[in-house]
Amino acid sequence: MAETSIGGENVRFQATLWTTVLRARDAGGEEARGAMGRLVERYWKPLYFFARRRGLDVERAKDAAQGFFERVLDRDFLSGVAPEKGRFRSWLLAAMSHFLSDERERQMAAKRGGGRVVALDVETAERQFAGAGDTPERLFMRAWATETMARSMARLGAEWRDRGYDTLVRHLSGEAGSIRESAENLGVAEHDVKNRLHAMRVRLRELLRAEVSESVEDPSLVDEELAALFEALGR
């Protein structure tokens, strides 16, 4: 999945996901599809998991995810969308739930003749889905949180590639040995390892903040979104 271009104090100047949807609603054509790409990258897997847990088999869930994003390109479908109505993920989940409950829309996938919004890596998603429990809503939340964390970790890894990331990241996941072992591995003092780990944790939280800030227009909701993310991850 493509990484978001994010960074520090410029976060508030980014286009949010609300902006992306409104652009898709207002632009139409190829411009709308381009705007939707960013949305699909972030949310197709949580929505696919939601559909699977609602009882759809692999092919029907895949068609539902594709069909939903095609439907989002419909201006009538987006006519009532407004950022002030709440968190983006909450709107998206409610919209998908409504979509799946509509028998006519469920059957559209079988009748749809050609295009797809984006290729979905369903094989990988199914490996992750296997053994997953919980309600459709909680599974959606966990997938959303996991994908958000993965994008943030990928960005962190790119930034810290030449600063011992492969060794240090194991401490963030609780898989590493002692600080002394990491210091010896990196050829630095133990206090340097501790300082780097602190800096990495601070930067990771900044990256996560940037990610979740894309789904709200009101900055005051960012901390609540972070709390929801960590709760979904069980942290």
Instruction: Dump pLDDT digits (tens) for 121-165.
Output: 677 677 666 656 678 888 899 899 999 999 999 999 999 988 899
Using CA atoms, how far apart are residues 200 and 197, in angstroms rounded to an integer?
A: 5
Most confident of 34-38, 71-75, 100-104, 184-188: 184-188
Q: How far is CA 105 from CA 32, 39, 230, 231, in A?
A: 21, 20, 34, 33
Q: How far is CA 38 from CA 70, 119, 168, 208, in A?
A: 14, 13, 30, 17
Spacing of C-alpha 72 from chain mean position = 17
Q: In the chain, where are the structural domains located?
A: 13-132, 134-235
What average pLDDT does the chain have?
A: 78
| CA-based nearest residue to 118, from 64, 49, 40 | 40
Give the mean pLDDT of 27-52: 78
Cβ burial, residue 161 (10 Å; 0-12/13-18/19+): exposed
- Are 72 and 78 spatial neighbours (Cβ–Cβ below 8 Å)? yes
Higher pLDDT, 14 or 228: 228
235 band by pLDDT with thresholds 50, 70 and 90: low
86 band by pLDDT with thresholds 50, 70 and 90: low
Q: What is the CA radius of gyration of the chain?
A: 20
pLDDT at residue 233 in the model: 87
Above pLDDT 70, what percent of the chain? Answer: 70
Q: Is residue 227 pLDDT above 50, yes or no? A: yes
- pLDDT tens across 172-192, in order? 877 767 899 999 999 999 999
Above pLDDT 90, what percent of the chain? Answer: 28
Q: Is residue 3 pLDDT above 60, yes or no? A: no
- Are 182 and 167 spatial neighbours (Cβ–Cβ below 8 Å)? yes
Q: How far is CA 43 from CA 48, 96, 106, 194, in A?
A: 8, 11, 19, 35
Q: Is residue 48 pLDDT above 70, yes or no? A: yes
Higher pLDDT, 155 or 218: 155
228 band by pLDDT with thresholds 50, 70 and 90: very high
